[in-house]
Each structure stands twice: as C-alpha cells, then as structure tokens.
C-alpha cells in the first residue's frame, strides 16, 4: 500500500484505496493499543511533534482548509503505522518484512514490464485522466519500454519510484545476504534483480544517492572499533573528500548530467523550484497550509507547473515543499528531525559489530537523498520509513542484539565466501 500505492490505486481506484486505508489504519490503532505502545510513543522525537503541531496549527491560516484536514488525517494514519512497526518488530524482523515486500514489488515489476513490452503500453484500470486515450505517455501505467532503451516504470507506475524501491532493495538485500539464515541464493538473486531494475529505471538522483551511501557505509565500517580521536580524524578526512567531490561535481555539473543522461537543470527541476520559490516568498513565515502531496484542482497549485503536457503536483524537493506548506519553522523542524536521526543511526551503525545495523542508516540515506529531487519524503513510504527509523533509533543500545567478537569489516570480507559455499 505504501511502497506501491499507485499500483493499488490504478487497480481498484481511489475509492477502493481509501477503504483499504481506513481498514488498515483502524487495524493499526487496534494493534498499537493492545501491544503496550507507551515506550514507543515516549521515543517520538521532539521535532516530529513540532511538525505535527504546525500541521494542525496551519488549519487556522490554510488556503484550503478541508484538504488540510484530510491530509492531516492521512499523515497521522501513516505515522501510526510507522509507530506500529517500531513497536511490534525488532530490526531483524523489519529487515525481513521490508526485503520480502520489495522483493515482491520488483519481481512483479519485471513481469509487468515484460507483458507491456510484448503486448503494448498498459493503461490504468482506473485512470487519472478523462477520455479513453492518455493525454501524454506519462499517464500510462507502463509504456512498455523494457526493450526500447527508455526508462521503465514497473508495477509502481513511475520510473523514479521504481528506481527508489530498487536502490533501497539492493541495499537491504546486500545486508540480508550477510546476516540472513535463509538460503543465500534468495538475497543474492534479489540483489541482481534490484540492480537490473535500478539500471533500467535510469534515475540520476538514485545513482548519485547510491554513490553517497556506499561512501558513507565505507566510512562507517572503517571507523568501527576505533577510539574517539581516530574516528574524528576519519570523519574530518571523509568530510574534506566529500566537500572536494561536491565542488568538482558543481564545476563540471553539465558534463556530469550528460554522463547520467540528464539535462543540466535535472530534467526541469530548476524551472519547478523557481515557481515554488515564487510562492514561498508570498508566505515565507507561515506557509500556505499543510497539504502533503498537492491535490489536483486546489489553488495555488493547479496549473502552477506543467511540463510536456503533464501537471506537476509536488515541488520535487521536500525541503522547498515543507517550507511552502509550513513556513520557515516547518523547514527548521524537518532539518532538525533529519539531523538528529542521522546522528543516532550513524552512532548505532559505527558502534555495533553486526552488519544488520547498517541497513537503518541505508534507509535514512536513501530517503534523504530522494528528498533533494522529490517531495515524497513528506508522504507515503518515505514518510513512514522516516518516522520508523527516527523513532526506533531512540531505543537504548542495550536493547539491540548483543555485540559480537568479530568486526563488521571481517564479516563483510567473509561474506562472499559464505555465499559461494551455500
């Protein structure tokens, strides 16, 4: 429902999706109520409370009060589901749940794209356009590009989303291959499938995100078990290298985007951000009111940005979008939430000897990287994952699995041998 929401809506319509949401949120509240949620609720980060306070307060000045109220209800429901996951499952169980869910999405996406490539583009069963013919190729559920060299959309119906799911899956499958008790061909084959679909989706943002994540993982693994001064030296050198790499990327951004197959303004992002900033400057302090994903037909968003005949219903940057909706305080609260969560997740990843505790950091880095070119951090899967890792990372270190005698570095070096033996 959250990782492939469009697939559900294209299959049973918005009404059917809405019914399922109500049922699942009701079940979530019931499960939370009977499973001692007090500890989990007490671990909700302060900046998350601030964000919800602003969402509620924005009802006072919102330019679209009914939609703000509806979006607020959906945001609370999604957050309750994240808290249910944090309360009910340990990190190892969550890895299993997420990996299996993504595995199912990726396998069905490959089958779906094969069908579309053979029989032609597939339209949604419940279309989000009028008439029999999609007004633009982007309205197809799948354009059938698997063998054409263009970007695939997968069962999720969007190239950027299938790239996000595939990259997230690749990182989870990598950790799963090291720590799982399953037959190792399962995560190994899943990893290959995730890499294939990520490559076919051709997302420049996720490609850059993967490079950043692998660099961060290397630093975390190298810093494990070292004294404070040694760790700080490693961090300073890593930051210096990262800053230098960023500077080089900015200087040669045109060549870099051409290498990634994108225009220098990141496929129209510059134009979109300019339009959003114009709105922000009209209400920079309080924002226009909470709405999450822009709802069609609502001013001032309707018709604000149209590219190649397709209207845009997000700012394509979570930080601009939160500023647009909740003002400068909302932006500060989101940055506070991200920074505090990163510090905690990094500490666990570096301090613990089990590679299992790398994947919560990976999740955070994927959704943080996605937030630079998409606003989906504020809705559905990315928001649920953010609330989940932000809350669960506040659990005491003593509640995690016991420390081992073997470092992550040695376990990672042994991983290919184990995989080969199985």
Q: How far is the C-alpha of 111 from the C-alpha of 184, rounded, in Å?
A: 23
Q: Give the CA distances from residue 365 to residues 214, 215, 394, in Å, rounded to whole numbers and listed in that order.
A: 10, 11, 17
Note the pLDDT of residue 260. Answer: 61
Q: How confident is the model at residue 59 (pLDDT cuts 50, 70, 90)?
A: very high
Q: Give the CA distances from residue 378 to residues 49, 146, 208, 257, 345, in Å, rounded to whole numbers and listed in that order.
A: 15, 30, 21, 26, 20
Query: Taking residues 150-174, what's their average pLDDT?
Result: 92
Greater confidence (263 vs 192) lies with 192
Query: Taking residues 402-413, what's their average pLDDT?
Result: 63
Q: How confident is the model at residue 171 (pLDDT cuts 50, 70, 90)?
A: very high
Tell me how far the alpha carbon of residue 394 is from its chain's centroid.
20
Q: How confident is the model at residue 115 (pLDDT cuts 50, 70, 90)?
A: very high
Q: How far is the C-alpha of 95 from the C-alpha of 176, rounded, in Å?
A: 7
Classify residue 26 by its DSSP letter.
Answer: H
Classify residue 294 by its DSSP letter.
Answer: P
Is 257 within 8 Å of 264 (Cβ atoms)?
yes
Q: How confident is the model at residue 372 (pLDDT cuts 50, 70, 90)?
A: confident
Helix, strand, coil content of the chain in percent (nearest 5): 70, 0, 30
Q: Count Cβ atoms below 10 Å from residue 111 Cβ, excluding itself.
A: 11
DSSP string, 374-410: -SGGGSHHHHHHHHHHHHHTTS-GGGSPPPPSS-HHH
Identify the burial level of 311 via C-beta atoms within 10 angstroms of its C-beta, where 0-12 means exposed, 13-18 middle and 19 or more buried. Answer: middle
Q: How confident is the model at residue 377 (pLDDT cuts 50, 70, 90)?
A: very high
DSSP string, 171-208: HHHHHHHHH--S-THHHHHHHHHHHHHHHHHT-HHHHH
Give pTM, 2 decimals.
0.91
What are the residues whose beta carbons fall under 8 Å from the beta carbon of 126, sequence distance 6 or more? Answer: 9, 10, 11, 12, 13, 14
| Percent of the chain residues past pLDDT 90, beyond the cut | 53
Q: How far is the C-alpha of 169 from the C-alpha of 162, rounded, in Å?
A: 10
Asked whether the bond before 300 is cis by omega within 30 degrees of 0, the reply is: yes
Residue 413, pLDDT > 70, answer no
Is 293 within 8 Å of 161 (Cβ atoms)?
no
Note the pLDDT of residue 249. Answer: 74
User: 18-22, 31-35, 191-195, 247-251: lowest mean pLDDT where?
Assistant: 247-251
**Per the structure block, which two tokens stand in for 212?**
């950043």
Residue 326, pLDDT > 90, answer yes
Q: Which residue in 80, 48, 2, 76 sits closest to 340, CA to CA? A: 48
Query: Taking residues 139-152, what's their average pLDDT?
Result: 88
Q: How confident is the model at residue 351 (pLDDT cuts 50, 70, 90)?
A: confident
Note the pLDDT of residue 409. Answer: 59
For the chain, give every domain's residue range: 5-227+267-421
Residue 257, pLDDT > 70, answer no
Note the pLDDT of residue 334. Answer: 96
Helix (H, G, I), strand (E, B) or coil at 263: coil
Q: What is the pLDDT of residues 330-346, one digit of tens each?
A: 999 999 999 999 999 99
Note the pLDDT of residue 132. Answer: 78
Greater confidence (354 vs 408) lies with 354
Query: Taking residues 97-113, what's their average pLDDT?
Result: 96
Residue 56 main-chain phi, psi, to 5 deg: -70, -45
Classify residue 252 by its DSSP letter.
Answer: T
Q: What is the pLDDT of residues 230-254, one digit of tens each?
A: 888 888 888 898 888 878 877 766 6
| Percent of the chain residues past pLDDT 70, beyond the cut | 91
Most confident option among 138-152, 170-184, 279-293? 279-293
Note the pLDDT of residue 220. Answer: 80
Residue 52, pLDDT > 80, answer yes
Note the pLDDT of residue 195. Answer: 93
Note the pLDDT of residue 107. Answer: 96
Residue 408, pLDDT > 70, answer no
Note the pLDDT of residue 421. Answer: 54
Note the pLDDT of residue 263. Answer: 57
């Amino acid at each position: 429902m959250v990782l492939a929401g469009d697939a559900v809506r294209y299959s049973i319509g918005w009404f059917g999706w809405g019914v399922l949401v109500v049922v699942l949120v009701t079940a979530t509240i019931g499960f939370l109520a009977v499973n001692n949620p007090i500890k989990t609720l007490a671990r909700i980060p302060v900046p998350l409370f601030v964000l919800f306070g602003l969402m509620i307060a924005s009802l006072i000045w919102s330019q679209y009060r009914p939609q703000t109220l509806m979006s607020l209800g959906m945001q609370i429901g999604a957050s309750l589901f994240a808290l249910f996951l944090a309360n009910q499952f340990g990190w190892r169980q969550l890895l299993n749940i997420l990996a299996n869910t993504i595995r199912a999405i990726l396998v069905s996406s490959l089958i779906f794209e094969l069908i579309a490539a053979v029989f032609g583009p597939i339209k949604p069963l419940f279309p989000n356009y009028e008439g029999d013919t999609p007004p633009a190729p982007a309205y197809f559920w799948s354009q059938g590009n698997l063998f054409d060299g263009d970007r695939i959309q997968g069962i999720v119906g969007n190239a950027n989303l299938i790239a996000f799911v595939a990259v997230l899956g690749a990182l989870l499958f990598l950790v799963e291959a090291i720590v799982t008790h399953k037959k190792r061909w399962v995560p190994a084959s899943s990893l290959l499938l995730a890499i294939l679909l990520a490559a076919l989706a051709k997302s420049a943002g996720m490609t850059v995100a993967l490079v950043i994540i692998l660099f961060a993982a290397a630093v975390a693994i190298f810093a494990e078990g070292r004294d404070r001064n040694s760790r700080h030296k490693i961090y300073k050198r890593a930051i210096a290298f990262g800053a230098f790499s960023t500077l080089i990327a900015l200087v040669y951004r045109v060549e870099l985007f051409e290498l990634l197959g994108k225009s220098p303004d990141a496929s129209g992002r510059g134009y979109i951000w300019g339009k959003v900033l114009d709105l922000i400057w009209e209400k920079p302090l309080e924002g226009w009111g909470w709405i999450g994903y822009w709802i069609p037909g609502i001013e001032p968003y309707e018709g604000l940005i149209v590219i190649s005949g397709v209207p845009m219903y997000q700012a394509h940057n979570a930080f601009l979008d939160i500023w647009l909706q909740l003002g400068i305080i909302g932006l500060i609260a989101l940055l506070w939430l991200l920074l505090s969560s990163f510090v905690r997740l990094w500490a666990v990843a570096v301090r613990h000897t089990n590679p299992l505790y790398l994947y919560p950091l990976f999740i955070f880095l994927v959704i943080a990287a996605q937030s630079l070119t998409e606003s989906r951090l504020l809705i559905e899967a990315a928001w649920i994952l953010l609330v989940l890792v932000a809350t669960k990372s506040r659990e005491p270190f003593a509640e995690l699995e016991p420390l081992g005698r073997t470092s992550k570095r040695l376990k990672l070096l042994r991983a290919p041998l184990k995989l080969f033996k199985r």
